[in-house]
A and B are shown apart, each in its own frame.
Chain A
Amino acid sequence: MLDSMYGAVELGLLYSLMALGVYITFRILDFPDLTVDGSFATGGAVAAVLLSNGYSLWIALITAFLAGSAAGLCTGLLHTKGKINGLLSGILMMIALHSINLRIMGKPNTSLLGLEPLFSSISPIWLKLIVVAICILFIKFLLDMFFRTDLGLALRATGDNPRMIRSFGANTDNTKMLGISLSNGLVALSGGLIAQQSSYADISMGVGIIVIGLASVIIGEAILGARTIFMATLAAVLGSIIYRIVVALALRVEWLEASDLKLITALLVIVALVLPSARRSMKQKSMARKRSAQLAAEASKTSTGGAR
């Protein structure tokens, strides 16, 4: 039980970079980017090819990040310079990447068995988890710092109010392209880490990844909220871990069939979406009750007072 929990937390941490990428496009830029399904596998493919040719892990991961960024940049160009609808430019890039990923690997599936997985030399397992968590949080902090710079602020404003930020002299095309490529770079980095951790890269490893990313972001926001950038990025990381834990638990429950997994994902996201609004409306109702009770009390006071 505990072992698979550790595994779930570790997977959640590795996937959280992907969730951060999805957070950048969906929440900050307000851009529905489906490139993710392709760029995740691109990261896995690039890392797997380099690793199986004996390159070091750092080179493999950095190259994966750059490859993902390049893919994101293409999506950004299609959308801003090619004036193609955002959703469609992501989809176009996603299907293009399928062929590109096959070219990168030269085959659909690259096995990395026999290579030492990330930090495998560290034992006990909880210590390894802490090391992984520190690395991931370090990237999260870098991201937080970036969003406090002028450029980062311009990027955040692009999603909120493009017209305003244009009037301040920022080029929204450039900020969009930067945001989308940064996002896909993180996604590909996550893909590279996952390929490394699971000992194989597969052409289909990115299918449906966008759903997992969204689920992570939404679950995290439901629990932590997203008042500040610091909290929002932390929420994405936490949401990713919780998502993995729930999947690990769902796998252990006797009366659930293996085929129910997708349904559980859907239910999880629905709960995460409904909970905050349900809580808000409950708050409002209790507030309304309090107010009306107060008013009634005041009214009765004045009426007794007015009898003299």
Chain B
Amino acid sequence: MKKLTWLMLVLSAVLIVAGCGSKANEKGNTDSGNAGGGAGNAEKKTYKIAISQIVEHPSLDATREGFLAALKDAGLTEGDNLKVDYNNAQDDSTNNLSIAQKIAGEKNDLVLGIATPSAVALASNVKDTPLLFAAVTDPVDAKLVTNVDAPGGNISGASDTNPEAIVKLMDFIAGSFPNVKNVGIVINEGEPNAVIMAKKAEEALAKHDIKLVKAAITNTSEVKQAAESLVGRVDAFYITLDNKVVSGVDAILKVAKDKKIPFFSSDRDTVEKGAFATVGFKYYDHGYQVGQMAVDILKNGKKPAEMKVTVPDKLDLILNLKAAADYGIEVTDEMKGQVKDPEQNLIQ
């Protein structure tokens, strides 16, 4: 009997705390009128969106910032006429599920899933609210959509992998570095995006008769050893958008510079850090693109079912001229000529 009393006490305390929390939630819920009236009568309406993100990570955070910036530019400001419920699962799949269930149980005008696991968990729970995804490598493989041109259902979004980007970078390596016969990759085979990208890189390199040599890791602490194991066997380093590898990228930079092995990455941030080149885009822009889709849904009454899944379209070659010297690379005018936007993408 005593135990039951304790149980009741604990549960009621928790419920009271939660009650305080959810009261604040109710305020954001105005009646969902028709949002198709354009900007004229949209001042009165407060929009409510929920975001689920799998982990704190520079690229994913930039995606979220870009997304919110697009909404802001369209006149939806957080704290004014926009309520954002942001959840982060801390890289824990059980939290990820609980977050998806929580979001499904609330009334939202739009839901955003950042990265594959978050998007998939939302897709299996949220059935009637428009759902957008961002930073997803392969939405078809993840079964988020069956067809990227006409998704159907309540889901659309943007993939962060333009297959062209990898092919272009590999073509650049083969074209500008004729002596490269083997490219070494440090990879965590526990990450879907890394595996998919590595496969694409391998196919693209095979066309130039170049081999991709893998060194696998399971943890950020193993990155240095993996990079060292490739020394002497490869003529260049390449990494994908592999969260664990990108987290430990400083170790590869050090090995690459010590041994004068040119280092190519898949994201702009790593090039800014000291890798030589990538073909890429800014995650902020990627998020902004998804944000514009969200504006279309919220303000112009569009349906995700008829919105194409987009890929980053602002692809460009990005070179780090300062790092080139570290690798003993002579940057030719021909290389520089391939950069469309030298202002932005030639890092001095």
Task: Write the residues of chain A forming the contact surface with B, with a CB cutoff of 8 angstroms.
Answer: 1-5, 7-8, 11, 15, 95, 98, 102, 107-109, 111-114, 117, 194, 197-200, 202-205, 207-209, 212, 223-225, 244-249, 251-256, 258-259, 261-262, 275, 279
Contact = CB atoms under 8 A, between A and B. Distances in A.
A203 B191 CA distance: 8
A184 B199 CA distance: 34
Nearest to A195: B93
Interface of B: 3, 6-7, 14-15, 17-18, 20-22, 24-25, 56, 86-102, 104-106, 116-117, 120-121, 123-125, 141-144, 189-192, 195, 218
16 contacts: A1-B22, A4-B101, A108-B192, A109-B117, A109-B192, A194-B94, A198-B121, A203-B190, A248-B101, A251-B98, A252-B22, A254-B20, A254-B21, A259-B56, A261-B92, A262-B90
B25 A254 contact: yes
Given A223-B6, A254-B24, A258-B90, A113 B120 contact: yes
A113 B93 contact: no
Task: Label chain A's interface by main secondary structure.
Answer: helix
Given A109-B192, A202-B93, A225-B3, A259 B105 contact: no
A35 to B, nearest CB: 17
Contacts of A111: 120, 141-144
Given A7-B104, A204-B93, A258 B88 contact: yes
Given A3-B105, A204-B93, A251-B99, 16 more contacts: A4-B98, A4-B102, A5-B105, A11-B97, A11-B101, A95-B218, A108-B195, A199-B123, A200-B117, A203-B190, A244-B98, A246-B14, A252-B25, A253-B18, A254-B25, A258-B87
Given A11-B101, A199-B121, A252 B14 contact: no
A107 B218 CA distance: 14
Contacts of A246: 14
9 pairs of A and B residues whose beta carbons are closest in the complex: A3-B105, A7-B101, A253-B21, A199-B124, A113-B143, A258-B88, A4-B105, A109-B192, A249-B18
A252 B20 CA distance: 10
Residue of A95, A117, A261 ringed by the most chain B CB atoms within 10 A: A261
B124 A113 contact: yes
A223 B24 CA distance: 31
Nearest to B94: A212
Given A246-B14, A253-B17, A261-B95, A8 B101 contact: yes
A102 B189 contact: yes
Contacts of A256: 21
Contacts of B116: 109
Contact of A205 (B86, B93, B102): B93
A247 B190 contact: no
A275 B6 contact: yes
A95 B219 CA distance: 11
Nearest to A2: B105
Nearest to B188: A108
Nearest to B101: A7
A192 to B, nearest CB: 14
A114 B124 CA distance: 8
A291 to B, nearest CB: 21
Contacts of A254: 20-21, 24-25
Contacts of A245: 14
Contact of B123 (A11, A113, A204, A262): A113
A161 B322 CA distance: 69
A37 to B, nearest CB: 12
Nearest to B96: A198
B197 to A, nearest CB: 12
B7 A223 contact: yes
Contacts of B89: 258
B21 A252 contact: yes
A8 B91 CA distance: 19
A11 B124 contact: no
B120 A199 contact: yes
A155 B189 CA distance: 39
A252 B99 CA distance: 9
Contact of A261 (B90, B124, B141, B195): B90
A265 to B, nearest CB: 10
Given A113-B123, A223-B3, A253-B17, A198 B143 contact: no
Contacts of A3: 101, 104-105
Contact of A108 (B14, B105, B189): B189
